Amino acid sequence: MSRKASDNVEYTLRSLSNLMGEKRRRQQAEGAAGSAAAGERSLIAAESCSSLNSAASGAELERAARRQFQQDETPGFVYVVSVFSALGGFLFGYDTGVVSGALLLLKRELNLDALWQELLVSSTVGAAALSALAGGVLNGLCGRRPCILLASGLFTAGAGVLAAARDKETLLGGRVVVGLGIGVASMTVPVYIAEVAPPHLRGRLVTINTLFITGGQFFASVVDGIFSYLAKDGWRYMLGLSAVPAVIQFFGFLFLPESPRWLIQKGQTQRARRILSQMRGNQAIDEEYDSIKNNIEEEEKEVGAAGPVICRMLTYPPTRRALIVGCGLQMFQQLSGINTVMYYSATILQMSGVQDDRLAIWLAALTAFINFIFTLVGVWLVERMGRRKLTLGSLTGTAVALIILASGFLLSAQVSPRVTLNPPDPSHQNSTCTKYSYCNGCMLDPDCGLCYKLNKSSVVESSCIPVDKDSTMKAAWGRCSNETVFKKEDLFWAYNFCPTPYSWTALLGLILYLIFFAPGMGPMPWTVNSEIYPLWARSTGNACSSGVNWVFNVLVSLTFLHTAEYLTYYGAFFLYAGFAGLGLVFIYGCLPETKGKKLEEIESLFENRLCTCEI
Ligand SMILES: O[C@H]1[C@H](O)[C@@H](O)[C@H](O)[C@@H](O)[C@H]1O
């Protein structure tokens, strides 16, 4: 029998056993009085059972099951709950994305030096790493709902502090509060959605959370674009706007339920049953309820309940393997360089000849839009292709795109224009910029930029000059120190990039990167982590893997400029391509397929040694 046919029969039989279970339950509820109003569903059940008795032919069985299936609709409530939780993802994306635009205005208004700018960006990511780890304990003790409420409270408070800040210290405090919210939300939301979703929709609904993350990043870039025109206080709106979705989520969650799985674990079975039937509409919940309950009991027998969860996870082989897979996926997601590619997109676009800064900001919004739209493709594909194929395909494409991107930088470096003019520094300060004889060295030095003219498409009259301390858009002195003047005189100022005929290669690499990364490597690490741990280990497993995601996020972004200085840009992107290659080997060997499986069935996928999973 073909796989499909056997699946059908299995499904048919399962549906029929549901049908009969449902009928039995109804009969018990209706009691001896034998209510005549058994409803349409009982009629179908009766019809199905009688057809089972009389003919019992395969075709009839299948027809009855199909009719039952058509009645089994997932109630809209599951979608409402998922969307409200995914607002946490939106805030994660918004708050990590909005800061780059806000900094452009902030550094002028509050005179921020490089250290303070760095602090305002990385304090949020650092706080997120810590609170994701702490979120595991909170989730286990208090449940998912209080954690989501806490996260939206933190997002609101942080937004308020940031919008009202009068000095940089308050700003730093606000960014830390927001980071604490991001960490808790990033680990709780995928777990919560996975626990309320029916198995056949779980991947899609959890992936919606990542869609909201990238949606938040896109929205942030549009808000940055709009408020960049408001030189005074524009940053207050940028940073404060996130209070709106945070408040909506907070009030929404006052009315939304706790995860039924967490409730069963805590022995609150009546409440759990009520919520589970709300989530499943007209489908029978007995089977699901029993399987969750039995599983919890078995797990307690098998693993015991003594000692910290992380120690039990590490000493019990299936959860140890799941943890390695979960953390590995999150590590490779960040090591493939998504956040540097996104952050660097404006420069890549400038290399392609976009000289106007405002245009570059809007084109960066376009980059965020491509990331968002292709995450939507992931939502569509995840239940069709499954997690494993989608992740493998996505990472393969990402690695190829990184190679193209790196080659673009390599070719550009090989034809890097010569520095032809060396004007004397009027301030007589000893700048490092004078020592470079090619643009390539000049652009890798964060203190210098290239001032040049174009003759047709070739660079002429070029000089490597120190960059202005307040704005990277002009030189500290000389021909390129006054923006309006040098633009009128047909002069160009290149900071962080060199004019190159190979910019299209980098641009192609950038677009391909997002097209491949966004549907798979973006969402799958979150989706897979939400489903691979048994209930007792789920909060801790997700806390660890989210922590790994944030720690590698900080590491990759903080080291990028140094990596680029030592290895040059193409070296840095080749390095990420290498990491993506290693990630491919890891995923090929270790990631099992979890599509369509009940959360309770997934543990068995990790019973075998790693690297022996099905292909
Ligand atoms: O899955 C998300 C997403 O792909 C984002 O675009 C990225 O900024 C995050 O770091 C990542 O965790």
Render pLDDT for 415-442 as a digit per residue (tens, 0 to 9). 899 999 999 888 777 788 999 999 989 9
Query: What DSSP state is assigned to residue 417?
Result: P
ipTM tops 0.95:
yes
Q: Is residue 210 in contact with ligand 1, taking CB distance under 6 Å?
A: yes
Higher pLDDT, 95 or 614: 95
Average of pLDDT values for 587-604?
Answer: 89
The band of 456, judged by pLDDT with boundaries at 50, 70 and 90, is: confident
Q: What is the pLDDT of residue 15?
A: 37
Could you give the CA distance from residue 225 to residue 203 in angstroms, rounded to a whole number? 33
Cα atoms in the Cβ-side hemisphere of radius 13 Å centred on 119: 14
> pTM of the prediction?
0.80
Average of pLDDT values for 278-296?
Answer: 84
Could you give the CA distance from residue 385 to residue 602 in angstroms, rounded to a whole number? 18
User: Tokens 């020592």 identify what position?
Assistant: 435
266-to-196, 254, 405, 516 alpha-carbon distances in Å? 16, 20, 51, 41
Could you give the CA distance from residue 613 to residue 460 in angstroms, rounded to a whole number? 59
The band of 353, judged by pLDDT with boundaries at 50, 70 and 90, is: low
User: Tokens 């100022």 identify what position?
Assistant: 493
Grouping H, G, I as helix, E, B as strand and the rest as coil, residue 217 is helix
pLDDT of residue 284 exceeding 50, the answer is yes
Q: Is residue 338 in contact with ligand 1, taking CB distance under 6 Å?
A: yes
Higher pLDDT, 108 or 267: 267
Q: What is the pLDDT of residue 569?
A: 84
What residue owns the CA closest to ligand 1's atom 6? Answer: 214
pLDDT of residue 88 exceeding 80, the answer is yes
Q: How far is the CA of 207 from the centre of ligand 1 (A)?
A: 12
Q: Of the candidates 77, 240, 221, 93, which has an alpha carbon nearest to the alpha carbon of residue 171? A: 240
What is the three-state SS of 431-448?
A: CHHHHCCEHHHHHHCCCE
Render pLDDT for 518-557 as a digit per residue (tens, 0 to 9). 999 999 999 999 999 998 899 899 999 999 999 999 999 8
Could you give the CA distance from residue 326 to residue 538 in angstroms, rounded to a whole number? 11
Render pLDDT for 21-69 as a digit per residue (tens, 0 to 9). 444 444 444 443 333 333 333 333 333 334 434 444 555 655 555 455 4
Could you give the CA distance from residue 425 to residue 420 in angstroms, rounded to a whole number? 15
What is the number of the ligand 1 atom nearest to the C-alpha of 334?
A: 10
Average of pLDDT values for 220-236?
Answer: 90
Cα atoms in the Cβ-side hemisphere of radius 13 Å centred on 284: 22
pLDDT of residue 272 exceeding 60, the answer is yes
Q: Is residue 367 in contact with ligand 1, taking CB distance under 6 Å?
A: no
Higher pLDDT, 87 or 299: 87
Q: What is the pLDDT of residue 70?
A: 45
Could you give the CA distance from residue 487 to residue 93 in angstroms, rounded to a whole number? 35
Strand order in the sheet with 458-466: 458-466, 448-455, 491-494
Could you give the CA distance from residue 551 to residue 335 in angstroms, rounded to a whole number? 11
Q: How far is the CA of 330 from the centre of ligand 1 (A)?
A: 10
Q: What is the pLDDT of residue 428?
A: 75
What is the number of the ligand 1 atom nearest to the C-alpha of 375?
A: 4
Taking a C-beta distance cutoff of 8 angstroms, is the pair 194, 599 a contact? yes
Q: Is residue 545 in contact with ligand 1, taking CB distance under 6 Å?
A: no
pLDDT of residue 222 exceeding 60, the answer is yes
- Alpha carbon dihedral 20, 26, 28, 29, in 10-degree steps, equals 160
Cα atoms in the Cβ-side hemisphere of radius 13 Å centred on 195: 29
What residue owns the CA closest to ligand 1's atom 11? Answer: 522
Q: What is the pLDDT of residue 611?
A: 59
Q: Is residue 336 in contact with ligand 1, taking CB distance under 6 Å?
A: no
Grouping H, G, I as helix, E, B as strand and the rest as coil, residue 461 is strand
Render pLDDT for 479-496 as a digit per residue (tens, 0 to 9). 999 888 887 888 999 888
Q: Is residue 339 in contact with ligand 1, taking CB distance under 6 Å?
A: yes
In sequence order, what are the beta bridge partners of 454?
A: 459
Higher pLDDT, 280 or 338: 338
Q: What are 270-277's contacts with CB under 8 Å, separation 24+?
A: none
Could you give the CA distance from residue 509 to residue 519 in angstroms, rounded to a whole number? 16
User: Tokens 């996020």 identify what position?
Assistant: 553
Candidate from 187, 209, 214 with most ligand 1 atoms within 8 A of CB, to mutate: 214
Q: How far is the CA of 96 from the centre of ligand 1 (A)?
A: 10
- 14-23, 302-311, 370-379: which is most confident: 370-379
Could you give the CA distance from residue 492 to residue 512 in angstroms, rounded to a whole number? 29
Could you give the CA distance from residue 110 to residue 496 in angstroms, rounded to a whole number? 24
- Residues above pLDDT 90, as percent of the chain: 53
Q: What is the pLDDT of residue 296?
A: 82
Q: Is residue 529 in contact with ligand 1, taking CB distance under 6 Å?
A: no
Q: How far is the CA of 561 from the centre of ligand 1 (A)?
A: 20
Q: Of the candidates 399, 403, 395, which has an alpha carbon nearest to the alpha carbon of residue 520? A: 395
Q: How far is the CA of 522 from the centre of ligand 1 (A)?
A: 6
Q: Is residue 553 in contact with ligand 1, taking CB distance under 6 Å?
A: yes
Candidate from 91, 92, 206, 210 with most ligand 1 atoms within 8 A of CB, to mutate: 210
What residue owns the CA closest to ligand 1's atom 12? Answer: 522
Higher pLDDT, 17 or 180: 180
| Token duo for residue 456 | 């047709």
Render pLDDT for 117-168 as a digit per residue (tens, 0 to 9). 888 888 999 999 999 999 999 999 999 999 999 999 999 999 999 999 999 9
- Based on DSSP, count helices (H) and strands (E) in the chain, helices before strands: 25, 3
What is the number of the ligand 1 atom nearest to the C-alpha of 96?
A: 8
Q: What is the pLDDT of residue 84?
A: 96
What residue owns the CA closest to ligand 1's atom 1? Answer: 522
